[in-house]
Structure 1
């Protein structure tokens, strides 16, 4: 078995941390900007036992998927690479990590793609994030057949869940969830007559702009480091009938005095809005304001809601900050049609695992047939040397007969090993076949593992093989 002294086919290993397992400061350190993903994925590949790598980075999770032929060294390598990237010791990071391997890694990705592991159960945005993660890794040249097959299956599963069930009726994304709470904090039914500032011009900022338009916002200002991208998003808003304008990031302080709601989703490294920015705006026009920070690392400094930072000491002014940490507390576990969604995940997972198990048998079957062919060639060679009087026609007929007999003998076990392996179970028939015929290593399906945050050091997980994920 892979990682247990036998080199087998590549299996998927996941090392991750999310809003469920880690506090926001740790998530922030482990997060990667889009410009850093290529280097990070290539660093993950910088190990003899890792053959593929893909990083899923969202506002509330960082997951590192690799294909590997050896569980333990791959796990150590991934944890050390992530820790180096985060700039913290591996021992400090380990308590917040969860690990999935083989079947459990596949189940997790399908569950994530379906929105069933999100803050807002059933949210759809993660499908696009996973698709983008795959394209990024593909462009970087770090994905192969194992991660390709798994990612495509996960995307198919997510699409089925959102098409065939109503699990996402309560909220389509983290953006709608966050902005819905922001409007509640403003104490108004919708954004009619209100002004908003959207910081960023990516997918989440675009979703926020669309949501605000539907909520009746009177004007939306888009701020971005690259002004042309902000202008492009503002133009889309205007085409949808929403009054909109664009400013560079340096223009944010001048806009804050006029807006009731701020939503920031830049993916930048460093603070975009400070307490001083808000305090200056409140000095010009004291007013209620809600700021929503959907970025990881955070865009908006916590000081925006402190008395020293924002002017929030005024009794007639209410300033609220909703960041990932706050939203995690607010998010509940959705249950609408969740059972139906999980049934879709089970169906797709079973089909995927059957496909993987059948594929995992192929090297063993090839090795068995190659061993048989070598034996045939050796025996026929000896026969020809002992029977110099045989004609070429007689030799050809003997060769055909011997090969036909061996093929018939091997037909049933090779068909059966594929059939039995596809059915799953605790017996590794491919490995049994390899042992019986003394074949080269490389045929057994990996053991499914799941390790949770708080388990003993991940680098010392060699003796920890658990069954079910929580």
Structure 2
């Protein structure tokens, strides 16, 4: 069984296509189970964010799963496979591990080094666990990717090198509006991205923050954390009229802020500068607002086109990225080495188990043929035979574990299975592994 990832991201697809393919809520749960039920997938997890939609799986067939997942993404998004396929990427085995570790470390984000991806991977992991689509292999792989991401943020300057999308958006807002400290900000939505936006606004010196959300109680809770006030969703148009800066990130499937809402607000409150930052996927703000005078809209598509690097230090970023790439490469090598060594363990256990069975059978035959042998002598003979077998097996089993860490390591385990007619899946062999290992240690 091998790991595979099939997906698309801001690097391979335009935002308009990502909007169509993105899934959340019940649709995400359904996609998760549909992938799991293809017949060629043992474990699966789906990461769906504003910048990527990726299906991770543990499979026994490569081409079959690529075709199945591509077809499912097409069905769920309504995008024909022939239109979707040019934007899809596939990473298999070692490359899948490297890709996931790079994503977790922030190397593959629109804003290099942003830390939100760790939370998004964690959410995807939790959902797969809750839905029962995760097994040992994928769980361990994702957990290690989360640890790699934490190391990258803790041990390098990647956090400073790349701000979050919110930080980049606010840097662009200051270019358009000037200092935002004395401005009035409106946050639309109350999820994790909205909470980050509100906290970032507060740290930037914005004291007049209004939060609007369909569930008013959630808006109230978020507003209280930043010393702002909550408004009801029905009052969104009125709140837009008094805002200088709007950050919107809801889970809505249709636009939340229309050009007509802003135009009416301008007419009521008088014309003024308005900056809108749309971090939602699908988008919250109608692109038509760009045609309104005094209005600036920055969304994921425009940030993608602009490189999303406002306010970053290119020299520091390059140094941090190099450091994280080195960290990721080391972690990938260590993970693959351990994973390959683990693959050969059942074969080694089966070999030792078979040897132990042969020894016990022969000792039993000896006692049957020479029943008068004294107990002390019988025990000494038994111990000697076991020690001889252990010493004969010690070097080849240690060596095959070492060789298993190489890319072609599976071939050595396969050779052992063929030479000794082993079945590493026999439960009794696995059950007695601990006992056999203790005998060898002596």
CA distance in 2, matches of 1:431, 1:90: 38
Hey, what does 1:460 align to over in structure 2?
Answer: none
| Coordinate RMSD, CA, aligned | 2.5
Secondary structure class of the residue paired with 1:216: coil
Structure 1: runs of 5+ lacking an equivalent: 1-9, 239-243, 307-311, 443-470
| Equivalent position SS for 2:272 | coil
CA contact (8 A) 1:33 1:269 kept: no
- Cα distance in 2 for residues equivalent to 1:404 and 1:51: 41
Matches within 5 A, 1:234-383: 234-238=223-227, 244-284=228-268, 285-306=270-291, 312=292, 317-331=293-307, 332=309, 334-372=317-355
Which whole-Å deviations, capped at 9, do the CAs of 1:179-225 have from their partners, x for residues lacking one? Answer: 22122122x0x212211111111111011111111222241111111
The CA deviation at 1:359 is 0.8
Indicate yes or no: 2:216 matched with 1:227: yes
Q: 1:159 deviation in Å?
A: 1.3
CA–CA separation in structure 2 for the residues paired with 1:263 and 1:247? 15
TM-score, normalised to structure 2, is 0.86
Whether 1:139 and 2:123 are equivalent positions in the alignment is no
Q: Is the 8 A contact 2:340 2:409 kept in 1?
A: no
Q: CA deviation at 1:60?
A: 0.8
Choose between structure 1 and 2: higher helix proportion: 2
Whether the aligned pair in 1 keeps the contact of 2:271 and 2:294 (CA below 8 Å) is: no
Which whole-Å CA distance do the structure 1 matches of 2:239 and 2:94 have between them? 50
* Residues 124, 173 of structure 1: 8 Å contact kept: yes
Question: 1:162-181 residue pairs with structure 2 within 5 A?
Answer: 162-181=153-172
For residues 282 and 326 of structure 2, the distance between their equivalents in structure 1, rounded to whole angstroms, comes to 35
TM-aligned CA distance change 1:29 to 1:398, over 3 Å: farther
- Determine the C-alpha separation between the residues in 2 that align with 1:116 and 1:416: 36
Q: Secondary structure at the match of 2:108?
A: coil
Work out the CA distance in 1 between the residues paired with 2:356 and 2:330.
39
Map of 2:11 onto structure 1: 20
Question: Relative contact order (alpha carbons < 8 A, sep ≥ 6): 1 or 2 greater?
Answer: 1
Is 1:418 the counterpart of 2:401? The answer is: yes
Is 1:94 the counterpart of 2:81? The answer is: no
**1-structure distance, mates of 2:418, 2:369:** 38
Task: Kindly indicate whether residue 183 of structure 2 is the aligned counterpart of residue 194 of structure 1.
Answer: yes
**Helix, strand or coil at the partner of 1:269:** coil
8 Å CA contact retained: 1:125, 1:172: no
The alignment of Structure 1 onto Structure 2 pairs a total of residues equal to: 414
Rounded to whole Å, the distance in 2 between the matches of 1:101 and 1:210 is 39
Q: What is aligned with 2:117?
A: 126
- Tell me if structure 1 keeps the 8 A contact 2:350–2:424: no
For structure 2, the residue ranges without an aligned partner over 5 or more in a row are 426-442
Equivalent positions of 1:375-414 (< 5 A) are 390=371, 403-414=386-397
* Residue pair 2:161, 2:320 contacting (<8 A) in 1 also: no
**Alignment partner of 1:292: what SS?**
strand
Question: Does the 8 A contact of 1:121 with 1:335 survive in 2?
Answer: no
Match of 1:213 among 202, 205, 212: 202
1:468 paired residue number:
none
